[in-house]
Amino acid sequence: MFLHLYHCSYNEGTRQLVNYILFDYCYTIKDLANIRIPEEILEGMSYNFYEFSEISSRKSNHYVIFMHIVQNPLIYFITFSAAPDVVIFVKEDCVHVYCNARNYEYLMPYIIHWRNLQLYCLSELQYEDDEVAEEYKICSFIDMVGDSRRIGIPYEGKKPLDPFVFESWPLIQAYAYEGIREGGRGFFTMDRKLVDVTLSLEKEVYNVIDSVHLEILISKQLPRFEQLWSTLLSKIKLQGSSTDTLTESSLCEPFRTYYDYGCLGNTSLLDQSVADWGRPFVQFGNRLTNLALKNGFESKDVIKHGESINRCDERNNILYMICKAIDPRTKLICIRTYFLSRCYVPHGTADKKDINKDARFLHSLYHICIGVIHEAINTYTRCLNVDKAREVVIQNMHLLLQEKHLDQSAYTKLLPLEKHVEFHIECYDNYGRSIHISNQEHYHRIKLAYVAITDIPSLNNSSTTLGSVAFAETFVDSVVRVYNSDNKISWKGKHLILTRNVPKYFFHPDSTEEKSFNEIKELLQTENRNWGKKLALMENVPFVWDIANVYLNEEQVIIFERCIIIICKNFGTLVLSLNEIEAIKLFDGDSTSTVAILLIKCKSSLLHHLPIPFIHDNLEYIFALPPKSKARREFYNKVLNSWNSTMSSRPQVEIMKDLQQKIRNVYDFLQSSLNVTGNSVYQNAAQRLYDFASFWPIFEFCNCATNIKEDDIALLQSSNPQQVMEDTAEIIITVITGIPGCGKESLCTSLTSLAKENNRWMVLRQSINDLNTFKGEKLQERLSNLISKHKNSRSSRLSTGRRIRLLLETSGFTDIVDVIQAILSHPDKTLTKNLRIGAVTTCLDHQNCFMEGKTMMPKLLEFCATGLVNNIVFHDGFEQKDEDMLQIQKLIRTLNVDVAFIAARSGKITRSSDIDLIISENTFSQASLARKRLLLYPDISIGAFASGQTLPAVTEHFLKFNLPLDKAKILKQCKDLRDRNSSAINNQGKIYHIRGLTELIDVTGYHEIDCCPYSQKVVMQSVGHLPTPPKPSGAAQNMQENASKSFMIFSGTGLDEGRLKQWLTACRPAKPKKKVLRTKESLTSGEVQKIRNELKAKPLPAGCFYNGLQYQLLDFEQRIEEYLKNINARIEEQNRRIDAIPEEALF
């Protein structure tokens, strides 16, 4: 997608996708009031720090979901005006990003975690030159597009996408400029095919729920949805005091308003002919037949609620109501059945009226619905089969109907159950349209589980029906495929019920029940001989009435000497006589800083005095006493001593030392809910939602991958971040990596020279012949061969107690994740058990990290990736606090908060603590880092993670040559490389690093050469004596003796072997040129005078006479001829020697 500067302001599709992948980056700038950002940035930038500190730790999962859009052959390209010059081009396995120097620091925290990121950015000084900046942007855009022919655009316009509209955009027009990247490309839209991908994004990206969506939903949107239900209950309580005013229309008004407000801005949701989830409603029970309930659930028209005829009294047989609420933005849907008639008589009241059988029957059926729907969700999560879940619903209903103490006639009237039971699991898209759920296929979406018992016959009057009861929960599930040690596959699933905290039960008493409760209230005002003295009044006591299905309520509890009174918000007043209590147990963990729980177990004789939800197998109830609370102090000071001293005939308070597992799970939830010290999204969610702590790790992983080893599941759920694997490894691998020229070779040399006790080093390097390609199979094979060679040696750990230490040095720009993956997924299981990566260390030279501007060297961020790299060694130490050093440290800290920085002054590490970090045996195996690897690099443990290509594409050329080189020319050629590489429009390739071995003219021995063009560092050092392999015999020996050991390795992009040979040839001394023979005319005056002077020094020859002024030489011309003859003879000799020099080929 391509929009520039201002296009986000009117293209909703682009703005939506940008906000998705960059965490609401284009939202309003209202959160910037307290952030110091230059004014010119704010003018073109919208930035939202919405939950940034919470989201950033898991933001990589959001990008993984975003990459699902490239499963088809389209390529997605975006630019947006969030800060005013940003271009993003997403391909199948890489991302290109262009930004300017001003928004660089604000954008990097959002994108630095993206794998295979190719960043285009100039420095601040270069950006000041408008002409250079514009040319660089155009060149970057052309490089981004590359050979991509189909480009996706989230257009979302009112009219169909018109490709020629894009030709009016400046950057698109610049694509065809002549003179830039060879020009002549023509119209962009004629050279490339543009495709509107809005529908694909809606289906494959926006409808998917990932960890970021779930965080926002739980922390922001779910509390508002729960508050909506609290508003409904408050309205029932307020208007219920006058039965004439309690109508369907008035009760449903908050639901309708909430739904209509949520539909604003989405025209498809406003069009109810599109939405399949119906409308919110409140319906009283006398109208809820099977057909009426189905219409109310699926109706796409506004439900017509009754006004004055539906008064809540027994004359109209209105025993209950069904309520349905919908949040159209989050797809939260919840259905509850609330009762308006009595179903039990509180213990100890004077009212002995028989319980309404129909009301009791309806309560029991509704309670059964709640139980079976939770079991159905469990079944679906385990097997991903809706039909199997439906069978479980029917089977469990049969069992529960027989166990709920219902008479036989009530059970038989509901047979066959298939006729009365409605059950389905559904999910919806952002427009409210139902998405078909296929069996054995997992959907990363919010789902709705719905169950209803319809056309319920009356027990009091067989000719009438009571209507229907319904219950629905919204939940999120995550399912992963588990590989065990024998490579057998099983499924592991977890689910989280989002609407768990919406009250499942609500009881609004009728006039008779109010009379019974008023009697209790009157008794509470005075001491009662049956209850004894009032001991304590405790407010807001956390109360759990069902241990199997935990739902936390805060109730008022009044404790007497022989009775416990619980005033429940949703059930009324409950009376628990101590005579009806079988056991009382207390657990406080022997600590005042933890939650204490009071476990009450009642007798079966109390059944008819309890609401239906309180009736289960064990009749156990839990009261929580938070630390430092008033309720806890009153219980220990007033209640505990009194009960132990007066309850001689009743159960004593038993102090528990340990808890059963089911009670332990509830206690852990209470501990996290009532004793949380932090305020993170995760902690708040764990505090509010039961099972969140066990669900979240699997959900995070499920968003990244679908396959996991059985051993790795424990790592996902580990609560101890410093936990390491069991120390059974005999072989410890220390990995040294980094881009070429970082000094990793010297670090390996210094490590192998260390004399550490109980250690022995083996060094493993990639062969020079395999420079361009890294193959994990070869590394695995070399590991097996190397380790098997030392397996039975005397230095084995089994014989001497010493570990085998393996030092693995990566070559070139090999991605570190490929190396780690090859080790972790080694096919030899026996070897894997005895092998462990101790630590991974990356070497960096801060002067060799950036190319032009702020564009980083290829794979630089991958060499510092979180979860993979433990240490960063800076080759030049920390003394040079220049801009590059500060910038690269800041970037690495943003990317990897766990990494340790180590200074290597002049390439040497002097502190023993730093050496211990590098050769650590368990840093890499910490549970927190292993968990990050599972999330950021899914399938790495099974060898199926694709690292993607290096950007820009880097190749390494290995050239052997036969002649010595000139040192001065080598230095000159290396220094000239930086200027050639720094050209923004250079299209002849760039050399990133040169290393090799060569002889130098007039210098004895071989010299190792290391050249980094961008840092302008050239190191030449003698290597002394080279190891010589065993000599072969015959002709092969003569060939080997004459062969040169000189070679050069060039690392770079767009390199041509012919040009590299020309570069090397320029480092050779030039062959001497032959001189031209001398003639009389070529003699200089100096040479003539020289001849004369030579003649003066000799005796006068014959024929010489004096003319009065000077001696006249009759044979002077003869002397000149002799001089020319001699000098030409020497020239000819020298030329013959030059001709005799053999024409030696450098290559």
Q: What is the pLDDT of residue 124?
A: 87
* Backbone phi, psi, residue 251, to 5°: -75, -35
Q: What is the mean pLDDT of residues 474-503?
A: 86
Tokens of 346: 């509180």
E runs forming strands in 91-175: 95-99, 117-120, 150-153
CATH numeric code, 955-1027+1040-1065: 3.30.1220.10
Q: What is the mean pLDDT of residues 336-348?
A: 73
Give Rg (Cα) of the chain: 42
**In the chain, where are the structural domains located?**
7-206, 211-471, 520-688, 732-942, 955-1027+1040-1065, 1080-1140
Residue 917 to residues 839, 911, 929: CA-CA distances in angstroms? Answer: 8, 10, 15
Q: What is the pLDDT of residue 1021?
A: 86
Which three-class secondary structure state does DSSP give residue 233? Answer: helix
User: Which has the minimum average pLDDT: 90-99, 863-872, 1002-1011, 1102-1111?
Assistant: 1102-1111
Range of 41-45, 661-665, 1020-1024 with top mean pLDDT: 661-665
Q: 10 Å Cβ neighbour count for 267?
A: 10
E runs forming strands in 964-1031: 990-999, 1006-1012, 1017-1024
Asked whether the predicted pLDDT for residue 597 surpasses 70, the reply is yes
Can you tell me which residue has the tokens 């006249």?
Answer: 1112
CA dihedral 678, 684, 687, 692 (to 10 degrees): -120
Q: What is the pLDDT of residue 498?
A: 92
Asked whether the predicted pLDDT for residue 151 surpasses 60, the reply is yes
Range of 121-130, 158-167, 317-326, 765-774 with top mean pLDDT: 121-130
Q: What is the pLDDT of residue 468?
A: 87
- How far apart (Å, rounded) are the C-alpha atoms in residues 337 and 505? 7
Q: What is the pLDDT of residue 416?
A: 83
Asked whether the predicted pLDDT for residue 243 surpasses 60, the reply is no
Asked whether the predicted pLDDT for residue 281 surpasses 90, the reply is no
Residue partners of 207: CB distance under 8 A and separation at least 6: 429, 430, 435, 445
Which tens digit of pLDDT belongs to each residue from 218-241? 888 899 999 999 998 888 877 655
CA–chain centroid gap for 885, Å, is 27
Fold for the domain defined by 7-206 = Creatine Amidinohydrolase; Chain A, domain 1 (3.40.350)
Which tens digit of pLDDT belongs to each residue from 540-553? 888 888 887 787 77
Asked whether the predicted pLDDT for residue 51 surpasses 60, the reply is no
Which three-class secondary structure state does DSSP give residue 115? Answer: coil
Sign of CA dihedral 699, 701, 704, 709: negative
Q: What is the mean pLDDT of residues 389-400?
A: 90
Superfamily of domain 732-942: P-loop containing nucleotide triphosphate hydrolases (3.40.50.300)
- Tell me whether strands 731-737 and 803-809 are parallel, antiparallel or unpaired: parallel
At residue 1102 the predicted structure's pLDDT band, cuts being 50, 70 and 90, is low
Can you tell me which residue has the tokens 């939506």?
Answer: 16
* Backbone phi, psi, residue 645, to 5°: -90, -20
CATH class of 520-688: mainly beta
User: Which has the minimum average pLDDT: 605-609, 823-827, 954-958?
Assistant: 605-609
Cα angle vertex 1029, ends 1023, 1035, to 5°? 120
Closest by Cα among 365, 306, 14, 50 to 155: 14
At residue 52 the predicted structure's pLDDT band, cuts being 50, 70 and 90, is very low
Which tens digit of pLDDT belongs to each residue from 493-543? 889 999 988 988 887 665 445 555 555 555 555 555 567 788 888 888 888
pLDDT over 70 for what percent of the chain?
Answer: 76
Q: What is the pLDDT of residue 876?
A: 78
Q: What is the pLDDT of residue 863?
A: 93
At residue 800 the predicted structure's pLDDT band, cuts being 50, 70 and 90, is low
Q: Residue 851: enclosing H or E segment and its boundaries?
A: none
Fold for the domain defined by 211-471 = Creatine Amidinohydrolase (3.90.230)
Asked whether the predicted pLDDT for residue 480 surpasses 70, the reply is yes
At residue 289 the predicted structure's pLDDT band, cuts being 50, 70 and 90, is low
Q: Residue 952, preceding bond cis, omega within 30 degrees?
A: yes
- Tell me whether strands 581-587 and 653-655 are parallel, antiparallel or unpaired: parallel
Asked whether the predicted pLDDT for residue 345 surpasses 80, the reply is no
- How far apart (Å, rounded) are the C-alpha atoms in residues 172 and 144? 13
Which tens digit of pLDDT belongs to each residue from 923-964? 998 888 888 888 888 888 888 888 887 878 888 888 988 888
User: Which has the minimum average pLDDT: 7-11, 806-810, 913-917?
Assistant: 7-11
Q: What is the pLDDT of residue 75?
A: 46
Q: What is the pLDDT of residue 1105?
A: 64
Residue partners of 1130: CB distance under 8 A and separation at least 6: none
Q: What is the pLDDT of residue 313?
A: 45
Do the Cβ atoms of 862 and 815 come closer than 8 Å?
A: yes
Per the model's pLDDT, the better-predicted residue between 694 and 242 turns out to be 694
β-strand partners of 166: none
Q: What is the pLDDT of residue 227?
A: 92
Which three-class secondary structure state does DSSP give residue 1038? Answer: helix
Q: Residue 154, preceding bond cis, omega within 30 degrees?
A: no
Asked whether the predicted pLDDT for residue 487 surpasses 90, the reply is no
Which tens digit of pLDDT belongs to each residue from 65-84? 343 333 333 444 444 443 45
Residue 437 to residues 386, 440, 780: CA-CA distances in angstroms? Answer: 8, 9, 42
Asked whether the predicted pLDDT for residue 1037 surpasses 70, the reply is no
Per the model's pLDDT, the better-predicted residue between 754 and 336 turns out to be 336
At residue 1041 the predicted structure's pLDDT band, cuts being 50, 70 and 90, is very low
Residue partners of 632: CB distance under 8 A and separation at least 6: 596, 625, 626
Asked whether the predicted pLDDT for residue 764 surpasses 60, the reply is yes
Residue 630 to residues 534, 553, 585, 633, 993: CA-CA distances in angstroms? Answer: 16, 17, 20, 5, 71
User: Which has the minimum average pLDDT: 159-173, 321-335, 573-587, 1120-1134?
Assistant: 159-173
Does this model's pTM top 0.75?
yes
Per the model's pLDDT, the better-predicted residue between 391 and 507 turns out to be 391
Spell 662-674 as b/e; 16+ CB within 10 A means b: ebebbbebbbbbb
DSSP letter string over 330-380?
TTEEEEEEEE-S-----TT-S--PPP-HHHHHHHHHHHHHHHHHHHHHHHH
Tokens of 300: 């796409």
Q: What is the pLDDT of residue 379?
A: 92
Asked whether the predicted pLDDT for residue 53 surpasses 50, the reply is no
- What mean pLDDT, rounded, does the chain reach? 77
- How far apart (Å, rounded) are the C-alpha atoms in residues 386 and 388? 5
Q: What is the mean pLDDT of residues 1082-1105?
A: 73
Closest by Cα among 80, 75, 208, 202 to 144: 75
For residue 532, the 8-state DSSP code is B
| 1135 burial via Cβ count (<10 Å: 0-12, 13-18, 19+) | middle
Q: What is the mean pLDDT of residues 1090-1114?
A: 66
Give the strand order in the sheet containing 990-999. Answer: 955-960, 1047-1053, 990-999, 1006-1012, 1017-1024
- How far apart (Å, rounded) are the C-alpha atoms in residues 102 and 673? 44
For residue 36, the 8-state DSSP code is -
Per the model's pLDDT, the better-predicted residue between 582 and 979 turns out to be 582
CA–chain centroid gap for 733, Å, is 27
E runs forming strands in 1037-1120: 1047-1053, 1105-1106, 1111-1112
- How far apart (Å, rounded) are the C-alpha atoms in residues 556 and 575? 12
Residue 8 to residues 16, 17, 22: CA-CA distances in angstroms? Answer: 9, 10, 14
Q: Residue 255: enclosing H or E segment and its boundaries?
A: helix 248-263
Cα angle vertex 224, ends 219, 227, to 5°? 125
